[in-house]
Amino acid sequence: MLRRTERILENIPVGALGLIALTGCEEMGAKVNDYLVKWRHESAHEYRDDIAFSGYERDNYLINARVPRFGSGEAKGIIGESVRGKDLYLMVDVCNYNVTYSLTGNVNHMSPDDHFQNLKRIIAAVGGKGRRINVIMPFLYESRQHKRSSRESLDCALALQELVRMGVENIITFDAHDPRVQNAIPLSGFETVSPTYQFIKGLLRTVKDLQIDSQHMMAISPDEGGTNRAVYLANVLGLDMGMFYKRRDYTRIVDGRNPIVAHEFLGSSVEGKDVIIIDDMISSGDSIIDVATELKRRKAKRIFAAATFGLFTNGLEKFDKAYEDGIIDGILTTNLIYQTPELLSKPYYINCDMSKYIALIIDTLNHDGSISSILSPNERIQNVIRKYKNGEPI
């Protein structure tokens, strides 16, 4: 892992650090806060007498913010302490459907729209008093509606522009469905971060007998849209890559889209090889399981599916069955969005914790430092592979 001590943190902080973990993101916020508190306790003695570092070392960077609701379901953002002059980092998980509120006596689950509205409420409650506002939104709100075909709304672009108009300077997201949405806000900070390093580390920690070379492993993209991820993974691990493309029936429309007839494979033979399927999200999971079934038919050895966001919108039964039938050997997703206790208990599930990575990004940005070295994990990946091949602990 890139250690904090390896970076030059000589810049004066932009402002005293403040974290706001919105409803549904409290667990991740607490983990990130713990890292920041620990690191700054270790290094704060250097800056103890420096006025520019006032408020640098604290026991807690989390700011008391809440969004209570009226009986009608309407809400308001409240910040319970001063944020004047602070460099604020707002963390929001728009996919956390586990958060509920009362609407005229009925229990209502929060949708991505509700979470995004809460984010805007808290920004409005800051009221321009913070030094800088940064939003950490791992699953980019409306990122699946990133381009227009026929008469459609461009929701993601609208949302980004709205945040910038409200005074947000930096938006940090993970594995955006299409990074080109940043064209909507070309003069503002927008970073889409890839968790490839955490996937590799999670897989190597769990599976002890992988042979990482092009004779024994392959990286696979389940569709043409995710080819870049598979190409990157194949290049840093020294593997071959393959991809599937979705053959659709353009004469029919089912549920608003042309139905997939078959997944066609392009690439060299997968026979006898361990395979990593890499994608940005597992939604219903049908595509991943279809692709894994097709790879098994082509005599692939073990199949691991890695996706930044595990939505599992139709439940886990089909994954349980795929695991029992020997089609899938492991599924890796991150804790960037809500994970059900059921998911965490599955024998095939490998959880990749991103809290330390987010804490590093926040710490560096607060120091007005460059995050380009953090965003490029090539060296760290090579280092962890070398340790794995030498039998050292990862």
Q: What is the pLDDT of residue 43?
A: 79
Give the pLDDT of residue 349. 96
The ranges of the chain with pLDDT < 50 are none
Task: Give me Rg for the CA atoms of the chain.
Answer: 22
User: Could you give the 3-state DSSP secondary structure of residue 281?
Assistant: strand
Strand partners, 65: 79
**pLDDT single digits (tens) 329-369:** 999 999 999 999 999 999 999 999 999 999 999 999 999 98
Burial per residue of 82-121, b for 16 or more beta-carbon CB atoms within 10 angstroms, e otherwise? ebeebbbbbbbbbbbbebebeeeeeeeebebebbbebbeb
Q: How far is Cα 39 from Cα 48, in angstroms, rounded to an integer?
A: 15
What is the rounded CA–CA span in Å between residue 244 and residue 278?
Answer: 12
Angle at 90 between CA 103 and CA 169, to 5 degrees: 125
Per-residue DSSP letter, 4: G
**d(C-alpha 9, C-alpha 97), whole Å:** 38
DSSP string, 282-347: ESSSHHHHHHHHHHHHTT-S-EEEEEEEE--TT-SHHHHHHHHTTS-SEEEEESSS---HHHHT-T
Residue type, 233: L
Give the pLDDT of residue 54.
78
Among 50, 132, 138, smallest CA distance to 89 is for 132
Q: What is the pLDDT of residues 110-120, one digit of tens each?
A: 999 999 999 99
Which pLDDT belongs to residue 245?
Answer: 85
What CA–CA distance (Å, rounded) separates 324 from 213? 28
